[in-house]
Structures are given as C-alpha cells and as structure tokens.
Amino acid sequence: MNEDLGVYISQSVAILVDGNNIERSIDSAFDVGNGMINFDALIPKILGERALNRLIYFREGKNISSKLAERLHQNYHGSVNPCHKSADIPLTIKATQLANKVDCIIILSGDSDYVELVKHLKGEGVRVEICAVETTTSKYLIEEAEFFHPVSKDDIFTYQSPSRHKKVKKKKSSR
C-alpha cells in the first residue's frame, strides 16, 4: 500500500572523512601514488536521494590543499579540518556533536578505531554507514555499521602536484 502512495522518507546526512586513512587505503589497494577520492563521483553515489547536511574532511598536518578545501566548500558546503595528529579524536568529537542534528552519519574510513564510535552513535539512534576501500577496512567496522559502501577505482583519481606538472610542461616546450 505504501508503494502506491509514493512514500518518501527524507534523511539528513553528515559525511565525515578521515583523509589520511582513506588516502593510504586508496594508495595501497589500487597501487596508485597520490590517490584521492573523486568526491564528484562518490558523494552522489553514497547519498542517493538523501540531503547532505555537512561534509567535513579531517586530515593530519597543516599542509592541506587549498584547492581541495575550495572545491569541497563550493560543491558541498564542506570544510577541511586540519588535525594535530590523527583524525580519530576530532572526527569522533564532531560525530558525537552531530548525533542529534542528523539522521545518518557516513564515515569515510576503514579504521577499526571507529568501532566504538559506531556503537555509540547507533545507541543514540543515528544510522551509521561506512564508506571505504573494502580490502583495507576492518571487518569489525563493516559488521558494526548499518551499511557499507565500498570505494571502487571509479571513485578515485590520481593527484599530480603542481610543481611536477610545471616541470612536465617545461620539458615539452623546450623541444
């Protein structure tokens, strides 16, 4: 009967990215150097018809691409959060702060350190999904999550640093 009524359930989603973890996983699983998530391919795939409340990219270190930050802000009203050390604690704090503001949290990481966070969020009534490279993701994390989105080769691209790109151009122009 609900099918005939065209029932639509609206869900507000936050996506929290452990940048260092996901980058290492991509490089390891797909044997690419400087592999990065192609957010334009991945975000629509994992969101489906749901509304994106916010996207936060956590990454260790101060040297974070300003182009990445600009792109996430322009396309997804996202932000980049530099972390002093690992992203585990800042991501966990933000997830608990968001628990009463969203229906679902998608964590982009395969790190088993998030198993307890997933349990806690589910206990708070939040749907928790994991999106990561399957071969490098903790089986305990996959089992604890309510849904798993595998990152495929179609969801990544290889980043070329600007300095490397300029050198290639110089070589070509000197011929």
Q: What is the mean pLDDT of the chain?
A: 87
Contact 39, 75 (CB under 8 A): yes
Q: Which class for 10: exposed (0-12), middle (13-18), buried (19 or more C-beta within 10 A)? A: exposed
> pLDDT by residue (tens digit) across 139-158?
999 999 999 999 999 999 87
For the domain 11-173, what is the CATH code?
A: 3.40.50.1010
Q: Where residue 98 falls among pLDDT bands split at 50, 70, 90?
A: very high
